[in-house]
């Protein structure tokens, strides 16, 4: 399931890095830089509010390097298509990070699970008691 892209990141906030890509392309792949890495800084974004910036930074903290999110695309043979793919994936990532977390509804264990747990504890304690009595 792909989430909807609710966020449009302006081109001016994105920085790009290009390098040679592996994969199909024959000799073409050795001469052109089709691998694309797009970098975006949530803290410097004019599109997001301060609350949204904090949420994105918290949710994507594992992907942040020097305060910037990086997405790499190298599936296509053309740099243009890889650029489009990288931006699409970055926007989906940000939209997913902005989505509010679902509230956890507290639940109680079922009576059967409580009884099974207690029965297992009794069996285990009996096994240990039997070892002691030797």
- 112: in domain: no
Query: Domain containing 36: what range?
Result: 11-98
Across the range 88-103, mean pLDDT stands at 90
- 104: in domain: no
- 20: in domain: yes
- 32: in domain: yes
- 113: in domain: no
Q: Is the per-residue pLDDT at 22 higher than 90?
A: no
The predicted-structure confidence for 41-50, as pLDDT tens digits, reads as follows 988 888 888 9
- 89: in domain: yes
Q: Is the per-residue pLDDT at 113 higher than 70?
A: yes
CATH at residue 38: 3.30.160.20
Q: For position 29, what pLDDT does the model report?
A: 66
Work out the mean pLDDT of the chain and round it to a whole number. Answer: 87
Q: For position 84, what pLDDT does the model report?
A: 93
Cα–Cα distances in Å, from 35 out to 91, 96, 105?
18, 24, 44
- 57: in domain: yes
The predicted-structure confidence for 28-73, as pLDDT tens digits, reads as follows 767 778 889 999 998 888 888 899 989 999 999 898 889 899 999 9
pTM above 0.75, yes or no: no
Q: Label residues 109-128 b or e (16+ Cβ within 10 Å = b).
A: eeeeeeeeeeeeeeeeeeee
- 108: in domain: no
Percentage of the chain exceeding pLDDT 70: 90
Give the count of domains, the chain. Answer: 1
């Amino acid at each position: 399931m792909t989430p909807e892209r609710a966020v449009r990141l302006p081109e001016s906030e994105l920085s790009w890095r290009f390098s040679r890509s592996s994969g199909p392309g024959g000799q073409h792949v050795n001469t052109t830089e089709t691998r694309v890495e797009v970098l975006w800084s949530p803290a410097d974004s004019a599109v997001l509010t301060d609350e949204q910036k904090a949420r994105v930074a918290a949710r994507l903290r594992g992907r942040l390097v020097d305060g910037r999110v990086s997405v790499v695309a190298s599936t296509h043979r053309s740099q243009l298509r890889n650029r489009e793919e990288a931006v699409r994936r970055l926007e989906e990532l940000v939209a997913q990070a902005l989505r509010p977390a679902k509230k956890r509804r507290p639940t109680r264990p079922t009576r059967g699970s409580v009884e099974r747990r207690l029965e297992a504890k009794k069996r285990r304690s009996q096994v240990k008691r039997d070892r002691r009595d030797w």
